[in-house]
Structures are given as C-alpha cells and as structure tokens.
Structure 1
Amino acid sequence: MQRRSLFAAALGLLTLAFSQATLAAEPLKIGFIYPGPIADVGWTTQHELGRKLVEKTYGDKVKTYFVENVPETADAARVVRQLINQGCTMIFTTSFGYMEATAKLAKQFPKVSFDHATGYKMDKNLGIYQTRFYQGAYLMGVLAGKMTKSNTLGFVGSHPIPEVLRNINAFTIGARSVNPNAQTKVIWISSWYDPPKEREAAETLVSQGADVLYQNTDSPAAVQVAEKKGLYAFGQDSDMSKYGPRAHLSANTVNWGVYYVKKVGDKLAGKWKPEDTAWGMKEGMIEVSPLGSAVPADVAKIFTEKKEAVASGKLEVFAGPLKDNAAGVKVPAGSVLPEKDLWSLTWYVEGVQGSIPK
C-alpha cells in the first residue's frame, strides 16, 4: 500500500514536471495588424520587417501572426479577437485609427499585453509607441529648400492627424531654414494607401507649381510622378529610389524592429509594462536613406551637418521662434514646443498654405 502511494506521488511529480516543461516550451504568441498591404515599400512593409526581426532574434521562443489590410473600423476589433483566440498574449496594432478598438479590447482582455502605434490612450495593459518621424521630415525639407527652383513644395497628405501635421510642419521648417521663400502646398487624400489618388494629388501639386514632392502616404506614386516630369521627390517610410532613381533625393525611413525586439524581450523576461515611447534618430528608429546623385556636394554638406545636429539633440526641430500660418506666435524665441503640444499638434506652421480640413 505504501509502495502504491509512493509510486502515485512520484507519478504525480513527473506529470507536474512534464506539464511545466511543456508550458515552458510554449512559444510566446504575438499578433500584428496592419492597415495596408505588405508590398516592397511603405508603412506596413516596415512593420513587417520589424515582425521578421523579432522572429530572427528570438527564434522558437516566439510565434508571430499578422493580418494585413485591416480597416480602421470595427473590423479591427474582430481581427484582434481572432488573434487572441489563436492564443496571442501580445498584440501590436500599428495605426492611429486602431486606437479606440485597442483601448476597448485592452479592458476586455486584461491578461493580454497591447501596444498601439501613434495613439495616446494607455491602460494597465496598453502601451503606446510613436516615432520622431518629424526629425527625418525636417531633413527632407532641408533638401527640398535647397533643390527647389520654384520655391513651391508639394505634400500629399493622408489624414489630418497630429502625426501627419508634425511631418508637414517639420518639412516646411526644414525647407525655410535654408530657403525662407519656400512654401508648401498640401493636398489631402483621406487614405494611407491609394496609389491612384496619390498620383492624382501629386500631379495636381505639380500643376500648381510644385517642383519637389513629399508625402505621408504609403505608395511610391509621388516619386513616380516626379521621375516622369523631371522633378524631385522623397521616399516615406521606405527607400523608394528604385521607383525614381533620378528624382529620389533621399527617404525618411523607420526601423520599427528596434522597438519590437525590445518589447518582446521585456515580455519574455516577464518585465513588460505599458510605456509611452517616442524614439527617433538617436535610438535608431528613424533613419534617412543615402542621398541621390542629383544632390550637389554643398547641399550634401549642409544636410549632413544638420542630420548630425538632429541626431545628437543639438538641433530641435520645433524650436522658436515659430508662427502658425495665420502669423500667430506658437513658440517664442528661446523656447521649444512642449512634448504634450507636439503630440497633439493641430496647426500649420508659417509657410504651409491653406487650412486644415475639419
């Protein structure tokens, strides 16, 4: 009888050890949802490269899932629930329009770790991550200001949210830092990815006198228009030089992988916590691609000096004096736009024409 009890106890311990080993061997399941298609350039593509870097870094410790072309509607919540039902205990929602759905789901699934890109709502299990994309946009503006002959710059806008307005303003500040006569015209297309609309907007801007084009949209349409018309343009999110080798001056690119690797490592170590993260050139999240052959040596020198100053923190993009385009002082001389105002920015800087759509 005693032998049977000892045997049963030993068997129970073995079963428990096996169960614990099995649990320990279970990979961390991570879900990503993307607003656009995975192509060879653009916002979604850069997030996808970040997901792949997570897999490369952590191997069989993780299992990742992704869903592309997820509308920024109630569909987002449905897709995230599906990922959670597949066992995902970590979710990355990669666009501003997913914010409300992510905030609601975080309350419904308190054991899941959520990270939302470019939003502002946080919770006990919901962190946010932003980029200082405006740093690269400023540098693109420096090139635009030196390369324009018409002093008219064209910008294809997606949605009039602070993230995009920061880039329009930073681009214009950069241009006017080397060319005070530079002006920026903006056309909004109400989409992150719509190549026909992007192309039409770029062509309209050219017809209005723009000879340098930039965009906060995902396709290389603006670069292609510039190439065809003998003008200049920039890549956004990714290097787009192959779509306009003569037109492409540089690109404002983002490396999401550095953030994803850090947060997944925290989760694996049991140290994940919701954070408000804003990384830029200093952290290696924002990078600019090599300069195109059309950029003269003297312009390249100015660009390099400013790039080093931005990366080191010596040059603040939104430093005063700054006015809005109605001549109202927004940042006095000697001051820098406060962080909270930067992330909730809702005005055009001096040099941007027109008004922001409601």
Structure 2
Amino acid sequence: MKLNKWIGAAAFAVSCLVAPLSQAADEPLKVGFVYVGPIGDHGWSYEHDQGRIEMEKYFEGKVETTFVENVPEGADAERVITQLAKSGHDLIFTTSFGFMNPTIKVAKRFPKVHFEHATGYKRGKNVSTYVLRTYEGRYVSGVAAGMSTKTNTIGYIASFPIPEVIRDINSVYLGAKSVNPDVKIKIVWVNTWYDPGKEADAANALMDQGVDIILQHTDSPAPLIAAEKRGLMGIGQASDMSHFAPKAHMFSVRDVWAPHYIRTIQEVMDGTWKSEDYWGGFAEDILQIVSVNPALPEDVKTAIAETEAKIKSGEFHPFTGPLKDNQGNLVIPEGKTLDDEELAGVMWYVEGIDATIPK
C-alpha cells in the first residue's frame, strides 16, 4: 500500500485494516515509512523514498512497503506510527528528528514491532537510531565555499536549532576557515524542513547581505534557484539538485539510504536485528559528493576530491581538537576527536561564528 499524499491522520487510520503482527513465513515482510515532507521535495524525503524503492527492487516481492508523507512532527506523527504498528507492519522507519518521542512512545506499546528512527538519540529494546554523518559533506562544502567566495561571506539556511543542524553549521564554517581565514558565515533560521517560499526568501535575504555562496539545511531546490537568478552559487542538499540550477550548482551532497534499508531488513528477516545507534557517511558510501560542476576552477575541484578522500579514509575528522566555542571555551582538547555520542550533543557554535543559537 503506497499512500502518495497526506490525507490526515484520521483518514489514514480509517483506510488501514488492523491485522495481526504475526505473519506466515511465505508472506512478505511489511515495512512502513513515515516522511516529514513530500516525496517530491527533491531533498530529504525524496531520497528516503528512493531508498525505499531500491530496497523493494532488491528483495523482489519479499517486502511490502507503505509510506505516509507530509506528516507533522507531534501528535499526528504518533497517530500515524500507531496505525502502521496496528496494521501489521513488522518494521517502521520514522525519518525525522521530531518523530523521536512519538516513535519511542508507540514502540513501548508494540514490543514485537521493530522501529528505526532517523537522526535521533533515544533508543529502546525495539528502537534503533540511524544517522548520516552529514557533517562530513558539510566540511567539504565549507572548503569549496571558502575557496570560491569573492565577498568572504557565505550563507546558511538553517531549519531547526537541534544538534544535527548546529553540528553541520560548525562543520561548514570549519571547512571554510581552513582555506580562507577571512571568511564569515551568516545564518537565517526558517523553522521548517520544507517550504520553498520561505527557503527562497531566506536565500534572497542572505544574498542581500553580501552572501555569494548559499548552503542549506532545508529540502527544496528553491535556494539554488534563487542563487541562479542572481548569478551566484550554492550547494545542493540531500539529493542531486544540479538540474534545477546548472550554473549556480557547485555540487550536491547526496544521501543514499538504500544500503541501510537493505541491511536492516535483512537483519529482521534473519532474526539478527538488535537495537543500535548506526552512523554512516563517506566510508559507507551512503553519503556522496555528486555532480561537481565542471566549470569550477581546477583547484576547487581538486580540493573537493582530496578533502572527501581524507575524510572517507579516516585520515581527517572535522571535529578534532583543539577547538574552542564562540564564547572562548575549550570544547575539544588537543588530540581528541568527538565520538558519536558527543557529536549527537553538539549545541555550541565554534569560535569565529558571530551568532547565537536560538532557544
């Protein structure tokens, strides 16, 4: 069953038939996906759905999937997750940070169902988390932006003030600063994951302030399109956005979810699934630099490739000390690299970012 538009939690509940959790051995594994945005956002939700499609092809009829898109973070999410659990799904992927508490709450009521929550930090006996090392792609983005800016001012369109977003802003700035000591970063918070109008307005506001390279933690191509109209440049988010703004597009950092979905579903089928915190990035090829603009200067293209390679091999990690926050506190001592648990709790800006994290 593929629900290709949001029709409201109540309508969804009526449309699904309650089925027992146990299934015959010859029946397909039922897998549900909950998306915060539309599958046509050309970003985060789009790539999760591409992963779902690839996973279905891989298992050739052994898996039956359901997806619900445009699910608000909060009470509606809890209702949708509950209905998926009640309607016989063996495994449910909830794909946004704001689905964390609803996932944990529902999982306690359905202990035989497996749950996987993207980008969160809470686990349970039947709840795992899975996170992309997006900060790796952000560091490469910062290097490219720092080398390419003519105004020494880059801009970041931020969604919500959560660790994932704060961590990535820091990584962009650290990458830019590593190649351009004079670079500054301006940040606009839009408090949404997907709203093309707001995203375009934020991009234009940043460009009005002298920003000439646009980066984003939102999911539509609107910021890139805005940059193209003004003859400036930007970097694509989550999926390959090159076709939306071929001149403005420097490259995209693509999320490739199929390998994780295939691995997880195989573990459920084999009875080897266990609750864990999974992090994947360049090394696992679930984060990829794609469609580098051939018009970029050769030194920029070389820096992109070399920086990606150093991170992928483990030679370099963006969050290795010594590192201070923008209040002058030593947050990472010399020689120390933040582990995954520490990365999941980053709620400070690095030294040099002239901004305050919103409450």
Same fold (TM over 0.5): yes
Q: How does 1:196-275 map to 2 (within 5 A)?
A: 196-275=197-276
In structure 2, do the counterparts of structure 1 residues 339 and 84 end up closer, same or farther at CA, with 3 Å as the change threshold? closer
Shift of 1:310: 0.5
Q: CA-to-partner distance for each residue in 1:49-85, whole Å, 9 max, x for gaps?
A: 1111110111111100000000001111111122223
Question: How many Å separate the matches in 1 of 2:56 and 2:324?
Answer: 46
| 2:336 corresponds to | 335
CA contact (8 A) 1:246 1:293 kept: no
CA distance in 2, matches of 1:81, 1:40: 25
Inter-partner Cα distance in structure 1 for 2:291 and 2:183: 24
In the alignment, which residue of structure 1 is the partner of 2:64?
A: 63
**Structure 2 gap ranges (5+):** 1-22
Separation (CA, whole Å) in 2 of partners of 1:230 and 1:349: 30
Q: What per-residue deviation string (whole Å, max 9, x for no partner) do you get for residues 19-58 of structure 1?
A: xxx9221111010000000116100001001111110111
Query: Does structure 2 retain, via aligned residues, the 8 Å contact 1:46–1:237?
Result: yes
Deviations 1:271-319 (A, max 9, x none): 1111110111101111011311331111211221111100000011111
Are positions 1:106 and 2:111 aligned together?
Answer: no
Contact 1:34 1:66 in 2 (8 A): yes
Which of 1 and 2 has greater Rg? 1
In structure 2, distance between residues paired with 1:240 and 1:290: 9
Shift of 1:351: 2.9
- Identify which range, 217-226 or 345-354, moves more after superposition: 345-354
Is residue 302 of structure 2 the alignment partner of residue 301 of structure 1? yes
Any runs of at least 4 consecutive aligned residues in structure 1 with deviations exceeding 3 A, and if so which?
Answer: none
1:348 aligns with 2:342: no
Tell me by how many angstroms 1:337 deviates.
2.5
Structure 2 CA distance for aligned equivalents of residues 108 and 84 of structure 1 = 9
Greater percentage in helix: 1
| Equivalent position of 1:96 in the other structure | 97
Equivalent-residue separation in structure 2 for 1:100 and 1:263 (angstroms): 21
Question: For the structure 1 residues 46 and 269, does the alpha-carbon distance in structure 2 shift closer, same or farther, using more than 3 Å as the test?
Answer: same
User: 2:304 and 2:249 mapped to 1: Cα distance?
Assistant: 15
Aligned to 2:20: none
Match of 2:83 in 1: 82
Give the number of aligned pairs: 337
CA contact (8 A) 1:255 1:285 kept: yes
Distance in 1 (CA, whole Å) between partners of 2:204 and 2:353 is: 19
Q: Is the 8 A contact 2:323 2:330 kept in 1?
A: yes
Decide whether the 8 Å contact of 2:125 with 2:275 is kept in 1: yes
Aligned residue type for 1:167: D
- Percent same amino acid at aligned positions? 47
Matching residue's letter, 1:77: E
Match runs of 1:145-164 below 5 Å: 145-164=146-165
Residues in 1 aligned to 2:326 and 2:220: alpha-carbon distance in whole angstroms: 29
Contact 1:220/1:240, CA 8 A, preserved across alignment: yes
1:62 counterpart letter in structure 2: V
For 2:351 and 2:211, how far apart are their aligned partners in 1? 17
Consecutive unaligned residues of structure 1, counting only runs of 5 or more, are 1-21
CA distance in 1, matches of 2:264, 2:183: 41
Residue of structure 2 equivalent to 1:135: 136
2:187 is paired with a residue of what secondary structure?
A: strand
Counterpart Cα distance in 1 of 2:151 and 2:105? 48
2:29 is matched with 28
The answer on whether the counterparts of 1:156 and 1:198 sit within 8 Å (CA) in structure 2 is yes
Give the counterpart letter for 2:224 in structure 1: V
User: In 1, are the aligned partners of 2:41 and 2:219 still within 8 Å (CA)?
Assistant: no
Amino acid of the residue matched to residue 252 of structure 1?
V
Aligned residues of 1:182 and 1:351 also touching (Cα < 8 A) = no
Report the TM-score, using the length of structure 1 for normalisation. 0.92
State whether residues 41 and 194 of structure 2, in contact with CA within 8 Å, keep that contact through their aligned partners in structure 1: no
